[in-house]
Amino acid sequence: MRPDPHQIIQEMDADLGSIEAVDTLSERHGHAVWRVGTADRSYVLKWLPQADAEVEVQGALLLQELGVPILPLYGHTAQALLMEDLSHSDVWRLAVEADVARPGVGRAIADWYRTLHKAGEELLSTGQRPRFLARETDALDSETILATGRAVGLEDLSVWRLAADHIEMLKGAVGQMSATLNYNDFYWTNLALSRREDRPLEAIVFDYHLLGVGMRYSDVRNVTSSLSGEAPLAFEEVYGDIDPREEVLDRPLSTLYALTVAARLSTFPHWAEGSLDRVTNGDLERDLREAITLARSLL
């Protein structure tokens, strides 16, 4: 049943004044997003089903508590967030696709991720892992990997058995690496950039439904693969060095995870085609053997 945005705002006890307009921006996958207008400003209200809301809402609140920049938040419930409307903000704007080729944007994004990862490492170093945060590798086990091979029609390839037989060792090796918070879902449509031209450019990455725990490199790979032009190099220069062992472990595990997610969808997605190519051209097997060798040295 579609929720009533007026009722949601009332539950927040948010002091917005008189609401003059509520316009539906999106209704997909059971989610709802509205623009809420008052006499003097505009807000975006996002509501999620209970199954998705915990990570999104608790993730935003956690980042706010840790001092990681998020969009201004004006109220929340267990299933909803009331946020800055980027289309009417004097401070922030929604990125456009061309922004991801700009080196200044790459540097600003790197600053945000450095803050995220520093806060994540400090949080997890205390042993305080919020229960709503999972590792992507938690979804990988022997049975799931073999089922993925069958789902993509390549079950005869020996690489699936190689992965299935060593997945727990590889996950154990990941556990030996430094853990932090991972955003996991970078794309330009989830990016806000500061408007003021008299100050250094700032970036905020928003939408936290895939926030989790993992290695720094996993996020760096996710970001740089979505940037273009000079922006990836600018990002890497600002972000700094990462333990190269993380890349060795991430390569096969990220491929397996992407294929596991893709194989569950009714139509195989375009974004997973590169991962499927790595199965057929032998790259996944090569990556697995390198990671297995590293894992044996770590455990």
* 130 and 83 part of one domain: no
* 108 and 208 part of one domain: yes
Q: Is the pLDDT of residue 1 over 70?
A: no
Q: Is the pLDDT of residue 17 over 90?
A: no
* Residue 144 backbone dihedrals phi, psi, to 5 degrees: -65, -40
Q: How confident is the model at residue 243 (pLDDT cuts 50, 70, 90)?
A: very high
* 168 and 61 part of one domain: no
Residue 69 CA to residue 60 CA, distance in Å, equals 10
Mean pLDDT of the chain: 94
* 63 and 120 part of one domain: no
Long-range contacts of 266-272 (CB under 8 A, 24+ apart): 268/152
User: For residue 44, what are the CA distances in angstroms to 34, 63, 181, 193?
Assistant: 6, 19, 26, 17
Q: At what angle do helices 244-263 and 216-224 cross, to 10 degrees?
A: 70
**Residue 13 is part of a domain; what is its CATH number?**
3.30.200.20
Tell me, what amino acid is at 102?
Answer: R
Q: What is the pLDDT of residue 127?
A: 85
For residues 164-168, give the mean pLDDT: 98
User: For residue 203, what are the CA distances in angstroms to 68, 69, 92, 153, 200?
Assistant: 11, 9, 9, 41, 10
Q: Is the pLDDT of residue 139 over 80?
A: yes
Those residues whose C-beta lies under 8 Å from the C-beta of residue 45, and which sit 6 or more positions away, are 5, 8, 9, 33, 34, 35, 36, 80, 81, 82, 83
Provide the domain limits for residue 39: 5-89
* Residue with the two structure tokens 């690489």: 159
**Residue 129 is part of a domain; what is its CATH number?**
3.90.1200.10
Radius of gyration for the chain, computed over Cα atoms and rounded to the nearest angstrom? 21
* 201 and 117 part of one domain: yes
Residue 163 CA to residue 292 CA, distance in Å, equals 9
Q: How confident is the model at residue 142 (pLDDT cuts 50, 70, 90)?
A: very high
Q: Do 178 and 167 form a contact (C-beta atoms < 8 A)?
A: no
Give the residue from 207, 211, 222 showing the smallest Cα distance to 29: 207
Residue 21 CA to residue 34 CA, distance in Å, equals 10
Residue 135 forms beta bridges with which residues? 213
Q: Is the pLDDT of residue 13 over 90?
A: no
User: For residue 186, what are the CA distances in angstroms to 2, 21, 42, 85, 94?
Assistant: 28, 31, 26, 20, 14
* 69 and 217 part of one domain: no
* 52 and 109 part of one domain: no
* 154 and 292 part of one domain: yes
Q: Considering its fold, how many domains does the chain have in total?
A: 2
Which pTM does this prediction carry?
Answer: 0.93
* 40 and 162 part of one domain: no
* 220 and 255 part of one domain: yes
* 28 and 174 part of one domain: no
Which of 69, 89, 109 is the endpoint of a domain? 89
Which of 19, 54, 89 is the endpoint of a domain? 89
* Residue 276 backbone dihedrals phi, psi, to 5 degrees: -65, -35
* 121 and 23 part of one domain: no
Which of 32, 60, 89 is the endpoint of a domain? 89
